[in-house]
Chains A and B, each alone.
Chain A
Amino acid sequence: MQELDIVKPASVAEAVSLHGGAVGARYLAGGTDLVPNMRRGLQKSRKLVDITGIEELRQIAFENGALRIGAGVTLEALCASDLVRRHAPLLALAASQVAGPTHRAAATLGGNLMQDTRCYFYNQSDFWRTANEYCMKAEGTICRVAPSSSRCWASYCGDVAPAMLVLGAEVDISGPTGNRREPLAALYADDGLQHLKLGPGDLLVSVEVPAQSGWTAGYEKVRVRGTIDFPLAGIAVAIKREGNRIADLRVACTGVNAYPGLVPNLEAWRGKEPDEAFFAALEKAVRKEIQPMESTLTAAGYRKRVALGLARKLVGELFESAGA
C-alpha cells in the first residue's frame, strides 16, 4: 500500500477545500470499492479526504414532495429509513441488493452512485495486470476486451443508480468551482475509463428524488450467487397505468454499459396497451440501449439475454400489479 495522508473534514466546505482539486487526492467514504482497488494497486491516491465525519452528508429529509438523501448515508441506513421506505421504496429495494450486508453497513449512497467501472482485465492484482501488460483503464493503452477499440469497455455495476434514474433523481455537487445541481443522468458518460463527469475536487453532496407516489416500480438484478456479487445485468422499471393502458414508463439498466442509463424513447408508448407489439418494441429499445462486452467471466450474450428478459418480465409484472 502506498503512503497516505488521510484528512477528516467536518463540513462539505472544508472537504472541498482540503481536496482542492489536487492531483492524487480522493474522497473516501465507506471504502468498500476504493480500498480493495487500492490494495490491488488500481488507485494510486496519496491523499484521502475521509468524508464519513461530515454530519450534513448523512441526512435524509422529505420536503416539497421529494426525498433529499445525503451522499454519505450508508446503504444500510438507506434501506432502513422510514422516509425512504415510505416515499421511494424502490431505492430501498435496489440498495438492499448491493453486495453483502457488511458491505452495505459501510458503503454509502454516493460511493455506490460513483462506483468505479469494473472489468475482468482491470479488477485483478498488480501481478496479474503486469503479466497481462496492463490495459487502457490502468497503466496501459489497449482495451483488453476489444483490443482494436479506442475506448474502454469496463462496465458500471451499481444497483442504486438505475432505481434513481427511473425516479428522476437530481444530484447536488460541490466543488472548487462552486455548487451545481443536475439530473443524475448527466453525471455519467459512456466511457469505462472516465464514466463520471466530475471536475477535480467535485464532491457529490446529496441526491434529490421525487416521491415515488403514482409510480409502480421495481428493480431486479441477476448474479451467479444470491449475495455479494455485482450485477451481471440489472433493470429498474417505473410504470404508471391508466385502465388497460400505460400512462408512463421508465426503464433503466445497469451492468451492461459503462454507465447506468435510461432506455430512451419509451414516451411513444404512453397511452398504449402493453400488447405483444409493445413488448417486442420494448425489447428492441433495451437491446439498442445496452452494449455488454466480454468484460465479465459470464459471456456478454447471456447478460444481454437476461437484461431483455428482466425488462420484459418486470414491466409485465409491474403493469399487472399497478392495476391491482
Chain B
Amino acid sequence: MKPILRIQVNGRWREEAVADNTLLIDFLREQLQLTGTKQGCDGGECGACTVLVDGRPRLSCCAFAASFEGHHVETIESQWQDGQMSPLQQAFHEKLGAQCGYCTPGMIMAAEALLRTNAEPSEAEIRQALGGNLCRCTGYVKIIESVQAAAPGHRQTTGEPA
C-alpha cells in the first residue's frame, strides 16, 4: 500500500497515494500530469526541473515527494492566472527568453523565486540567482533581459500555504 501524501500543489490541497521512493518530479509529471516541469539531466545538474516549495526554488529531481507532506509546491502551471500569462511569462515570450523552451519552466520558476525576494534585481543578481539553470539555446542574454523586463510588473506573491 502506498502511503497517502497530503500536499498543496498550485494552491490546491491534494491527497494522493505516493510511494516513498517517488521523486517529486515524477509525482508532478506522471501522477498529476503537470508536464510543464522538465527533466534535463540525471540528477541535479541543469535546473530544468526547478519548482517552488514554500516559495523557494527546489530541484524536483533531487527530492522525494514524500518529504513535502503539508508543504506547498508551485510549478510553471501556477504562473498562468486569471486567464493571463504572468509578467515573467509575458516577458520571456516577448523578449525571446525561450527558444526551444525546454529550460524555460525551470528558468521562470527560479526567476519567480528571485523576484519574490528581490523586486529589482541587478544583472549580476540575476546571473547569480539563475546560475544553476542551464540553457543551451540563448546564450542567456535574452533570459536576463526577460527577467529585467518582468520585474516591474511582477506581482508580489508570498507562496505561503493558504
Is there direct touching of A and B in the complex, by C-beta distance under 8 Å? yes
**B interface with A by C-beta (< 8 Å):** 19-21, 23, 42-45, 47, 50, 56-59, 61-64, 66-67, 69, 110, 113, 128-133
Residues of A within 8 A of B128 (CB): 101, 227
**A interface with B by C-beta (< 8 Å):** 1-6, 8, 28, 31-32, 35-36, 39-40, 48, 50, 52, 76, 99-103, 105-106, 125, 226-228
Residues of A within 8 A of B62 (CB): 31-32, 35-36, 106
**A99-B132, A228-B131 known; A39 and B20 CB under 8 Å?**
no
Q: Are A39 and B42 in contact (CB under 8 A)?
A: yes
Q: Please give the distance in Å from A176's CB to the nearest CB on chain B.
A: 23
Residues of B within 8 A of A48 (CB): 20, 64
Q: Please give the distance in Å from B53's CB to the nearest CB on chain A.
A: 8
Q: Give me 8 A-to-B residue pairs in the complex whose CB atoms sit less than 8 angstroms apart, sorted by A's number.
A: A6-B64, A32-B59, A32-B62, A39-B61, A100-B47, A101-B130, A105-B58, A228-B131
Q: How far is the CA of A136 from the CA of B21 in the complex (A)?
A: 27
- Taking each of B56, B58, B59, B110, which has the highest tally of chain A beta carbons within 10 Å of its own beta carbon? B59
Q: Are B64 and A31 in contact (CB under 8 A)?
A: yes
Q: How far is the CA of A32 from the CA of B58 in the complex (A)?
A: 10
Q: Are B21 and A32 in contact (CB under 8 A)?
A: no
Residues of B within 8 A of A40 (CB): 42-43
Residues of B within 8 A of A1 (CB): 21, 23
Q: Which 9 pairs show the lowest CB-CB distances between chains A and B?
A: A100-B132, A36-B43, A227-B131, A4-B21, A35-B62, A6-B20, A4-B20, A102-B132, A102-B57
Residues of B within 8 A of A32 (CB): 44, 59, 62
Residues of B within 8 A of A103 (CB): 44, 59, 132
Q: How far is the CA of A228 from the CA of B23 in the complex (A)?
A: 21
**A2-B21, A35-B44 known; A101 and B64 CB under 8 Å?**
no
Residues of B within 8 A of A36 (CB): 42-45, 62
Q: Are A102 and B58 in contact (CB under 8 A)?
A: yes
**A102-B50, A105-B57 known; A228 and B67 CB under 8 Å?**
no
**A2-B21, A35-B44 known; A226 and B131 CB under 8 Å?**
yes
